[in-house]
């Protein structure tokens, strides 16, 4: 834990800037207010029937939270980042891939192709593995350019000793999640996600022990965080930092928060602090596995405590 605290302390000491942090905080207040006042993602974007229109909407829904603080930082620091074509190409590809994935409704296609009945449970497992394929697109496209700078494949470093300092962080998150699960009605309604998957009904119809459907669902749920850490920390942090500088952590925090806007408010708010801490630690360690462990552990506790409470 001391190692992680020293990483955070050193990063803040070297890169903290009052006006930049204040602007980012105010920008986060603005986008949170807009989304949760108008239920922007769930009631507006998700209801758009046309796929192309949804893609465009999701592109700007996630790109704007990133670009606005990035513009402020660049202007404030009088940087020439925006003259770098690679920066804009990465931004375009990353947010296009994110928009394509978030807009893609594969339920009908999957059910017709697989002929599962009922279909909701296997689809909920399947779609989380598809996310990794989507998020690998920008990584594979830019890896020939990035590999000399980042060393490993976007933080896919198997030196597991670097995970040890994260264990106390998981314990702290377990306590926070437990308290939130007890007192937040929104979290109690939203979790556990397994209940919404139709896993119990699927197990009964197909004569499966329910522990097996629970195991398959939770395994896919936890695997999901490998994709997220690859994309938001391995790609956004480890490759953009070379062009943008260490302040890239703040724009990434904003876009990372925006992907949580369909979830309970407390979870979205927590993603701001979690995104900042994991962004800094990835920047310092050049390794995404610590983030995967913390992220997956936190999600598992949210599922577990929701089952028990």
Per-domain boundaries in the chain = 2-308
> Which pLDDT score is estimated for 159?
60
Burial class (CB within 10 angstroms; exposed 0-12, middle 13-18, buried 19+) of 258:
buried
Q: Say if CB 242 and CB 84 are below 8 A apart.
A: no
Q: Say if CB 306 and CB 191 are below 8 A apart.
A: yes
Q: Say if CB 17 and CB 66 are below 8 A apart.
A: no
| Structure tokens that stand for 222 in this block | 């936890």
Q: Say if CB 155 and CB 286 are below 8 A apart.
A: yes
For residue 206, give the DSSP letter: T
Q: What ranges in the chain are assigned the alpha helix state H?
A: 2-15, 18-38, 51-77, 85-103, 107-114, 120-150, 167-183, 185-190, 199-205, 210-229, 236-244, 249-258, 265-285, 289-308
Q: Say if CB 233 and CB 240 are below 8 A apart.
A: no
CA pair distance 232, 258, nearest whole angstrom: 12
Q: What is the CB-side half-sphere exposure of residue 201 using CA atoms within 13 A?
A: 11
> Which pLDDT score is estimated for 241?
92
Q: How far is CA 29 from the centre of its chain?
A: 19
CA pair distance 256, 267, nearest whole angstrom: 12
Q: Say if CB 73 and CB 18 are below 8 A apart.
A: no
Q: What is the CB-side half-sphere exposure of residue 47 using CA atoms within 13 A?
A: 6
| Structure tokens that stand for 305 in this block | 């405590």
pLDDT averaged per 10 residues in sequence order, the chain, 309 residues: 83 94 97 92 87 92 96 94 92 92 78 79 83 80 83 73 72 84 80 86 89 90 85 91 94 96 89 92 86 85 81
Residue whose pair of structure tokens reads 């796929």 in the numeric block: 51
Q: Is the pTM above the cut of 0.75?
A: yes
CA pair distance 15, 244, nearest whole angstrom: 13
């Amino acid at each position: 834990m001391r190692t992680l605290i020293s990483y955070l302390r050193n990063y803040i000491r070297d890169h903290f800037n009052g006006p930049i942090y204040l602007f980012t905080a105010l920008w986060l207040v603005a986008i949170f207010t807009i989304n949760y006042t108008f239920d922007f993602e769930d009631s507006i974007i998700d209801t758009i029937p046309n796929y192309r229109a949804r893609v465009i909407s999701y592109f700007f829904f996630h790109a704007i939270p990133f670009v606005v603080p990035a513009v402020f930082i660049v202007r404030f620091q009088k940087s020439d980042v925006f003259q770098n074509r690679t920066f804009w190409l990465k931004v375009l590809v990353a947010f296009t891939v994110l928009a394509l994935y978030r807009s893609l409704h594969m339920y009908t296609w999957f059910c017709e192709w697989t002929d599962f009945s009922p279909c909701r449970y296997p689809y909920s497992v399947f779609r989380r593995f598809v996310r990794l394929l989507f998020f690998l697109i920008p990584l594979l496209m830019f890896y020939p350019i990035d590999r000399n700078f980042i060393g490993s494949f976007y933080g896919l470093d198997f030196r597991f000793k670097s995970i040890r300092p994260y264990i106390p962080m998981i314990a702290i998150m377990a306590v926070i999640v437990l308290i939130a699960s007890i007192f937040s009605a929104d979290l109690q309604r939203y979790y556990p996600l397994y209940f919404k998957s139709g896993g119990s009904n699927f197990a009964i119809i197909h004569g499966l022990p329910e522990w097996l459907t629970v195991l398959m669902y939770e395994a896919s749920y936890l695997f999901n965080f490998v994709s997220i850490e690859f994309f938001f920390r391995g790609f956004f942090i480890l490759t953009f930092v070379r062009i943008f500088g260490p302040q890239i952590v703040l724009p990434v925090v904003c876009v990372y928060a925006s992907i949580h806007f369909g979830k309970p408010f407390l979870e979205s708010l927590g993603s701001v602090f979690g995104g900042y801490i994991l962004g800094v630690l990835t920047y310092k360690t050049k390794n995404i596995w610590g983030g995967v462990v913390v992220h997956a552990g936190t999600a598992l506790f949210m599922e577990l405590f929701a089952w028990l409470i």
